[in-house]
Amino acid sequence: MPGLTAPNALARAYRRFGEGDAAATSPLYERVAVALSESGAALRAVEAAPARRRHPTVILAALHDLALAGRAPALATAYAAADADAAAGAAIDTLLRMTDQVVALATRRKVRADETGRHAVLYPAVAEAAHRAGADAVGLIDVGCSAGFNLRVDRVGITYGDGRMLGDPSSPVQVSCATVGGRPVPARAMPEVVARIGVDDDPVDVTDADEARWLRACVWPDQPEQLARLEAELTLAATAPMELLRGDALDLLPEAFARVPADALPVVTTTWALSGSSLENRLRFLHRLDEAATGRAVAWVSAEGVGVAPAIPTMGDRRASGHSILGLAVFGHAALRADAIGRCWSRGRLLAWVA
Ligand SMILES: C[S@@+](CC[C@H](N)C(=O)[O-])C[C@H]1O[C@@H](n2cnc3c(N)ncnc32)[C@H](O)[C@@H]1O
């Protein structure tokens, strides 16, 4: 919805969002979005934002952020009480009273999708990478890390559908993952993680209270399970510091590799981070990994749409077929071994291990 310019288009977009996207899961956002679509004054306030920043998810997150910050108490109360009518009135009131603040947030911040729960696919893949490379310590480099949750994959507990458990059962982050197919997920434990490096051109630093609140604001207010998952990740984040490198991954990868101690295997991870890059840049990314592997082994674990991760076999699956491929590439001194080791669905909440 890049160009929400004409008032009627804006009204239609908000109604469509409310009655479509939100209706199934969020009675609060359904009611609020429809109310905004019916208020000329509210739509004019939304028009104060740049055309590309008028999407309901952006404006609603900005309003939610003000509520969480204590700057829109009536809206906060209505959301807490799950009172959709009160929320609709309070959202319009907040938007009209605090248009500048809403627009500033909508312009500055990117809506973050739910980035929790990738661990169930990453954990066995990173352990497999270390096993193949004969490493007993790894340095994690998450490319497109956003808030960096993937970088604590060794600190979580995972329960698979077949009953297998991996990781730390006392961790605040406990994920469950359904499994399909005949092969069990390997029981191998994660080796020691000696470096955690996140690379992103727009990372989220969750140690900053405003940035952490924005992540909470991006969760729809009547989605308590999603909020609980985020809170658990934020609790865990405080226990394992990481380094964040801001900028383009192609430029920063050499620096990231240099930060991994020489006796540890650098394991680059990408989860749904490459699809926005051109094929040329994805091939350059692959080349960067290859270059880094001249003096040491390097591994790359990918969870990306079918055909997105270069060199990772697609197993004959069609692109855009609704699932992703879990890939493992190990760059040795002389050779690259690249395999598809799994298929996954729902951003890693369902896994078929195939290696
Ligand atoms: C769709 S999000 C995925 C975030 C996370 N990995 C996940 O599993 O949800 C893609 C992230 O990659 C970052 N990104 C995309 N291309 C990048 C590049 N060339 N260099 C650095 N970061 C990039 C974006 O800023 C964004 O945070």
Mean pLDDT, residues 209-220: 97
Pocket of ligand 1 contains residue 202 by CB under 6 Å: yes
pLDDT tens digits, 217-232 = 999 999 999 999 999 9
Mean pLDDT, residues 288-312: 95
pLDDT tens digits, 120-163 = 999 999 999 999 999 999 999 999 999 999 999 999 999 999 89
Q: How far is the CA of 290 from the centre of ligand 1 (A)?
A: 21
pLDDT of amino acid 109: 96
pLDDT tens digits, 251-271 = 999 999 999 999 999 999 999
- Say what percent of the chain tops pLDDT 70: 98
d(CA 239, CA 44): 45
pLDDT of amino acid 117: 85
Binned at pLDDT 50, 70 and 90, residue 2 comes out as very low
Going by alpha carbons, the residue nearest to atom 10 of ligand 1 is 273
pLDDT of amino acid 263: 96
For the entire predicted model, the pTM comes to 0.93
Pocket of ligand 1 contains residue 208 by CB under 6 Å: no
Mean pLDDT of the chain: 95
pLDDT of amino acid 6: 61
Pocket of ligand 1 contains residue 248 by CB under 6 Å: yes
Mean pLDDT, residues 181-185: 90
Pocket of ligand 1 contains residue 201 by CB under 6 Å: yes
> Mutate which of 121, 145, 200 to test ligand 1's pocket (most atoms within 8 Å of Cβ)?
200
pLDDT tens digits, 91-122 = 999 999 999 999 999 999 999 998 888 999 99
Binned at pLDDT 50, 70 and 90, residue 332 comes out as confident
